[in-house]
C-alpha cells in the first residue's frame, strides 16, 4: 500500500485529514518570508537546490495572497551551484551552506579565478 504525504501525516500524528494541507516546498519558503514581513505587497524570490522539481520561483505577494509568476525546474539550479561552492570550500553539501552564507561577509575574492 502506497501512501501519500497527507495520509502519512494523518496516520502518524492521528489528526483529522481535513486539518492537513500539503504546501509545495518553495511556496512554504515564500509564505514564511512574506507573511512574517511587514509588507502588504512584495516580490518574492525563492532559490534552493531542489524542492519537488522547482529550484527557483518568483512570486508576488498581495495582502493575504501569493501568486507564483515564474519558476525554474531541475537541473537549472543556482542552489546546486551554491552547493558545489560549499563542497569546494570543504564543507559538507546540504549541511554547510548556511556556514558559507554566514562567512561570505568576511571573505575576500581570492579564489574567484579558480571558481
State residue 3's pLDDT score.
66
The residue ranking higher by pLDDT, 30 or 104, is: 30
| Mean pLDDT, rounded, for 46-55 | 88
Q: Report residue 27 as a C-alpha cell.
A: 511556496
SS3 54: strand
- Among 87, 84, 32, 20, which residue's Cα sits nearest to residue 59? 32
What whole-number percentage of the chain has pLDDT above 90?
Answer: 47
Cell numbers at 63, concatenated: 495582502
Backbone angles phi, psi at 7, to 5 degrees: -65, -40
Higher pLDDT, 41 or 11: 41
Sign of CA pseudo-dihedral 43, 65, 97, 48: negative
Q: Which residue has the higher pLDDT, 2 or 114?
A: 114
What mean pLDDT comes out for the span 86-103?
Answer: 91
Please report which confidence band the pLDDT of residue 5 belongs to, taking 50, 70 and 90 as the band edges. Answer: confident
For residues 88-106, average pLDDT: 90
Q: How many CB atoms lie within 10 A of CB 71?
A: 15
Summarize the confidence of residues 82-97 as an average pLDDT: 91
Q: For strands 65-73 and 41-51, give the pairing.
A: unpaired
Mean pLDDT value of segment 75-92:
90
Residue 1 pLDDT greater than 70, yes or no: no
Amino acid at each position: 500500500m502506497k501512501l501519500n504525504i497527507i495520509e502519512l501525516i494523518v496516520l502518524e500524528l492521528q489528526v483529522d485529514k481535513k486539518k492537513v494541507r500539503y504546501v509545495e516546498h518553495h511556496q512554504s519558503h515564500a509564505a514564511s518570508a512574506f507573511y512574517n514581513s511587514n509588507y502588504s505587497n512584495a516580490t518574492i524570490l525563492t532559490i534552493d537546490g531542489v524542492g519537488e522539481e522547482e529550484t527557483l520561483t518568483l512570486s508576488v505577494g498581495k495582502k493575504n495572497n501569493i501568486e507564483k509568476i515564474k519558476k525554474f525546474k531541475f537541473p537549472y539550479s543556482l542552489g546546486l551551484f551554491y552547493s558545489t561552492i560549499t563542497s569546494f570550500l570543504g564543507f559538507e553539501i546540504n549541511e554547510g551552506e548556511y556556514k558559507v552564507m554566514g562567512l561570505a561577509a568576511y571573505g575576500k575574492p581570492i579564489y574567484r579565478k579558480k571558481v
